Amino acid sequence: MYTILKDGGVCSPRGFLASGIKAGIKASGNPDMALLKSERAARCFAVSTTNKVKAAPVLYNKDVLEHAHFASAVIVNSGNANACTGAQGYADSEKMAVLTEEKLNLTPKSVLVCSTGVIGRLMPMDKIEAGIPRLIQKLKPDASVDFARAILTTDLAMKSLAVEIQTEKGVVRIGGACKGSGMIHPKMATMLAFITTDVGLPIDFFAEFRSNIDESFNAITVDGDTSTNDTCILLANGMSDIQYNDMNLSEQGEFRAALTMLMQELAKSIVRDGEGATKLIEICVSNAESRSEALKMARFIGTSNLAKCAMFGEDPNWGRILSSAGSSDVNMSAEHTDLFFGDVQVLASGRPVDCDREALNAVVHQREYKVTLVLNMGSASASAFTCDLSYDYVKINAEYTT
Amino acid sequence: MYTILKDGGVCSPRGFLASGIKAGIKASGNPDMALLKSERAARCFAVSTTNKVKAAPVLYNKDVLEHAHFASAVIVNSGNANACTGAQGYADSEKMAVLTEEKLNLTPKSVLVCSTGVIGRLMPMDKIEAGIPRLIQKLKPDASVDFARAILTTDLAMKSLAVEIQTEKGVVRIGGACKGSGMIHPKMATMLAFITTDVGLPIDFFAEFRSNIDESFNAITVDGDTSTNDTCILLANGMSDIQYNDMNLSEQGEFRAALTMLMQELAKSIVRDGEGATKLIEICVSNAESRSEALKMARFIGTSNLAKCAMFGEDPNWGRILSSAGSSDVNMSAEHTDLFFGDVQVLASGRPVDCDREALNAVVHQREYKVTLVLNMGSASASAFTCDLSYDYVKINAEYTT
């Protein structure tokens, strides 16, 4: 069993220090540089955007992690994405890493870089260079909030969480922070997520991390676009002196469950904070032929503007959901499909059910609810998390001028 | 060369009669049944939705056309889609066809059926049965407008067009009508289109028709969803006494060009009439590795909410377009990509160009303009047509209640 830690975040696991400052990159004057450091070089897993247009820091991290799977720190800035900045952009990302390494007395290629913000502008390197020593000076072990605040862009809320798991050998912790408002917002682009743990993880845990990303950050959708900078980094420094491989099977299961929950909750907090969002909806596709098919369909429905407008309008519009499911290129048959809003069944074998309209209306008026599509084609299930499409989404994205 | 016919439509080619009536299916009292009839059995090509959830008339037509490629008439209703109606729905579609065949003294399996409207409700067969004799009674050779009006649903404008081509052997004509407002996407969403011609077409012209659909009705997108009922039917009755195979090569080229233009213009009229649309934007992807890749990317950009909101906001937001292009899973490299709004270049080799801001603003304030993404990866090009995403789109789709 895991316990959620009050005010927890990236610094909750042992041996992680952080800081966040106002470096003057954002015109708003809000915090815009952050640093996360492990006292010991940490096992590092990173997954980044599949967009063909990748920002400089994404390319830089890829080069760094190609040969080693360890990192000691991550330097982050918000306000400028360092994307579409060519060779100069790459050199700037590298310089951010190297300066941090030098001032922290770290070995080369031990610092990763994340940027989020405006696309197409060169980094204000004078501000970055002035910010790095200040970030290092401010590093402390209880700065989860400072870190989580400084990585935000158009987000309205800070996103930070930590959990603790009791094992036979002692307590281990997992912490995390993330940002992201629209899935991509080229003004202030991108989703960034940082996960820390004081458990020692083996290299082959990457497959587990990858699968957790599919069920969390890859299962959310605000508007269906991916960005140039999306990155999720996991740092495992082993400073609890407990290795994952030394845990018993039940403890390993608890650790995985806690990590999944933490990543899913962080991901859901991004959807809740989606541009103009008034609702968080879980789209669950069950009894599909495979998990990947179920997830594909759930994600497809989660990006349907028609379905999302109906959610905003608090209308239990099963036709839009069924039709979107049919467009998703996943094997299904309307004649075998059941559909539920919350616990209220609206379709049985593809035909409308004479359901309790009052109960149904109560479901769609909630701020958060679940839509379940039962395909009856197999035994696999998956969920996607989406928000509704509101006037404010259009307002936020139409009124912004480059 | 082709000439556009004033007030032309499905009845412009020789030997086509039509009618449209108010049968009481729609609560609004607007026209909701239509009939199109050829004096001679016509070569018939039909392409319908790829949605896994197919409406009864789509399934019925498929069964009819499986063995024969001729049809004499199409019976259409708006107001009820006859989708998710199970075996009863199929029987109702069949009954619509059979009643029409009997009352027109046609051979069995010579009438096709199209329906559009509400999903999940059984057809009001009493109204349909009463409507068919009235439609037949009203059949006349100059009823293009009656037909085009009766097939509409949430459309604001009637969509009808015809062209004439002068050949050595005489004049031939092509006519068409379509409907579609929201739920329009490549792969034919909630869209019905009817094309007529008095040219005699060979069976292998189907490949040409299929490719025209990809460049017209499959190249448009309003909101990325496909529907259960989309269908495009081409009837070629040969009543000009001119066979396509007897035309010379240049005449054949003119006929194909005219057909392409007519189908593209009808398709664009659907986008112009998209729910809440204020602009029609052509997204052209050029110098791609293949036509299908170019079309895939153009369509993907055309469904990006972020790009569509920027179009509504009249902002030349190249970052959203480039980033969406990068998400489309088509081979590209930002470093090789140029981008134009109208004639104004905004990106050269992936980097912003110091362009004429005034000229650029003039482009994005137009009601219709073209965005061109030059990938410099090959020599293939394709265009998609999209509209902007406005407050009214959300309003129309959120306020509608099932």
* Residues B261 and B312 occupy one common structural domain: no
Mean pLDDT of chain B: 92
Buried b (16+ CB within 10 A) or exposed e, A284-317: bbbbbeebebbbbbbbbbbbbbbbbbbbbbbbbb
Residue contact B120–A316, C-beta within 8 A: no
Q: How many C-beta neighbours within 10 Å does residue A139 have?
A: 18
Contact status, residue A164 vs residue A171, Cβ threshold 8 Å: yes
Partnered with residue B243 across adjacent β-strands are: B200
Q: What residues of chain B lie within 8 A of the CB of A351, using their CB? A: 84-86, 120
d(CA A67, CA A109): 10
Last-in-domain residue among B231, B247, B272:
B272
State the residue for tokens 């009845």.
B11
Q: What residues of chain B lie within 8 A of the CB of A306, using their CB? A: 182-183, 223, 225, 397
For residue A186, the distance in angstroms to the closest alpha carbon of chain B comes to 6
Amino acid B185: pLDDT: 42
Which of A121, A306, A344, A395 is the mutation pick for testing B, counting most B CBs within 10 A?
A306
d(CA A17, CA A143): 7
* Residues A77 and A30 occupy one common structural domain: yes
Contact status, residue B120 vs residue B84, Cβ threshold 8 Å: yes
pLDDT band at A188 (very low <50, low <70, confident <90, very high): very low
Amino acid A399: pLDDT: 72
d(CA B13, CA B39): 11
| DSSP structural state of residue B237 | -
| Chain A residue with minimum CA distance to B301 | A225
For residue B70, the distance in angstroms to the closest alpha carbon of chain A comes to 29
Report, as residue numbers or ranges, the catalytic residues of A: 190
Give φ, ψ of B398 to 5 degrees. -95, -30
Amino acid B186: pLDDT: 35
d(CA B25, CA B32): 6
B207, exposed or middle or buried, with CB in 10 Å at 0-12, 13-18, 19+? exposed
Amino acid at B108: P
* Residues A321 and A221 occupy one common structural domain: no
Amino acid at B136: I
Cα-Cα end-to-end distance for chain A: 48
Residue contact A323–B401, C-beta within 8 A: no
Range of the domain at B186: 2-272
Q: Is residue B184 over pLDDT 80?
A: no
Query: Who wins on pLDDT, A126 or B334?
Result: A126
Q: Is residue B183 over pLDDT 50?
A: no
Buried b (16+ CB within 10 A) or exposed e, B292-301: ebbbbbbbbb
Residue contact B389–A391, C-beta within 8 A: no
Q: What residues of chain B lie within 8 A of the CB of A225, using their CB? A: 304-306, 320, 323-324, 327
For residue B315, the Cα-to-chain-centroid distance in whole angstroms is 28
Q: What residues of chain A lie within 8 A of the CB of B85, using their CB? A: 351
For residue B62, the Cα-to-chain-centroid distance in whole angstroms is 19
| Chain A residue with minimum CA distance to B302 | A225
* Residues A262 and A320 occupy one common structural domain: no
Amino acid A185: pLDDT: 39
> Cα dihedral sign for A328, A332, A335, A340?
negative
B270: alpha, beta or left? (left if phi > 0; alpha if psi -120 to 50)? alpha
Which of A218, A228, A323, A390 is the mutation pick for testing B, counting most B CBs within 10 A?
A323
Q: Is A73 helix (H, G, I), strand (E, B) or coil?
A: strand
**In 3D, which of B363, B303, B223, B306 has the Cα closest to residue A398?**
B306
A355, exposed or middle or buried, with CB in 10 Å at 0-12, 13-18, 19+? middle
d(CA B305, CA A21): 33
Q: Please write the tens of the pLDDT for every residue from A313-353.
A: 888 888 889 988 998 989 999 999 999 999 999 999 999 99
Q: Is residue A383 over pLDDT 70?
A: yes
Contact status, residue A237 vs residue A52, Cβ threshold 8 Å: no
pLDDT band at B189 (very low <50, low <70, confident <90, very high): very low
Amino acid B392: pLDDT: 80
Last-in-domain residue among A250, A272, A294:
A272
Amino acid B219: pLDDT: 87
**Residue A168, domain CATH:** 3.60.70.12
Residue contact A313–B182, C-beta within 8 A: no
Of A54, A309, A402, the CB nearest to B397: A309
Q: Is residue A398 over pLDDT 90?
A: no
Q: Is residue B401 over pLDDT 70?
A: no
* Residues B267 and B306 occupy one common structural domain: no
* Residues A24 and A83 occupy one common structural domain: yes
Q: How many CB pairs under 8 A join A and B?
A: 216
Last-in-domain residue among B220, B248, B272:
B272
Amino acid at B263: M
Q: What residues of chain A lie within 8 A of the CB of B299, using their CB? A: none
For residue B146, the distance in angstroms to the closest alpha carbon of chain A comes to 29
Amino acid A289: pLDDT: 96
Q: What residues of chain B lie within 8 A of the CB of A50, using their CB? A: 327, 329
Q: How many domains, in total, are found in chain B?
A: 2
**Residue B294, domain CATH:** 3.10.20.340
For residue A223, the distance in angstroms to the closest alpha carbon of chain B comes to 6
For residue B295, the Cα-to-chain-centroid distance in whole angstroms is 16
Q: Within a 13 Å sphere around the CA of B121, how many CA atoms are in the beta-carbon half?
A: 14
Q: Is residue A257 over pLDDT 90?
A: yes
d(CA A86, CA B87): 60
Which of A50, A225, A396 is the mutation pick for testing B, counting most B CBs within 10 A?
A225
* Residues A252 and A294 occupy one common structural domain: no
Contact status, residue A182 vs residue A223, Cβ threshold 8 Å: yes
* Residues B87 and B235 occupy one common structural domain: yes
| The residue count for chain B | 402
> Cα dihedral sign for A92, A98, A102, A105?
positive
* Residues A293 and A388 occupy one common structural domain: yes
Check B190, B196, B228, B386 and give the catalytic one.
B190
**In 3D, which of B182, B193, B175, B160 has the Cα closest to residue B10?**
B175
| DSSP structural state of residue B187 | T
| DSSP structural state of residue B30 | -
For residue A47, the distance in angstroms to the closest alpha carbon of chain B comes to 16
* Residues B224 and B292 occupy one common structural domain: no
Query: Who wins on pLDDT, A340 or A118?
Result: A340
DSSP string, B31-90: --EEEEEEEEEEEEEEEE---SS--HHHHHHHHHHTT--EEEEEEEEEEE---S-HHHHH
Lowest-confidence segment of A100-109, A156-165, A314-323, B70-79 by average pLDDT: A314-323
Lowest-confidence segment of A136-150, A259-273, A296-310, B384-398 by average pLDDT: B384-398
Average pLDDT over residues A185-199: 76
ipTM passes above 0.85: no
Helix ranges (H only) for B228-290 are 249-272
pLDDT band at A160 (very low <50, low <70, confident <90, very high): very high
Average pLDDT over residues B289-305: 92
A69, exposed or middle or buried, with CB in 10 Å at 0-12, 13-18, 19+? middle
Q: Cα–Cα–Cα angle for A145, A151, A154, nearest 5°?
A: 110
* Residues A99 and A180 occupy one common structural domain: yes
Mean pLDDT of chain A: 92
Contact status, residue A120 vs residue B319, Cβ threshold 8 Å: yes
A123: alpha, beta or left? (left if phi > 0; alpha if psi -120 to 50)? beta
Give φ, ψ of B82 to 5 degrees. 50, 45
Residue contact A304–B225, C-beta within 8 A: yes
Q: Cα–Cα–Cα angle for A45, A46, A50, nearest 5°?
A: 145
Tell me how many helices (H) and strands (E) chain A has: 11, 18
Q: Is A103 helix (H, G, I), strand (E, B) or coil?
A: helix
For residue A85, the Cα-to-chain-centroid distance in whole angstroms is 25
Q: Please write the tens of the pLDDT for every residue from B127-160.
A: 999 999 999 999 999 999 999 999 998 788 899 9
Buried b (16+ CB within 10 A) or exposed e, B123-151: bbeebbeebbeebbeebeeebbbbbbbbb
* Residues A156 and A258 occupy one common structural domain: yes
Give percent of chain A with pLDDT exceeding 90.
Answer: 73
Give percent of chain A with pLDDT exceeding 70.
Answer: 96
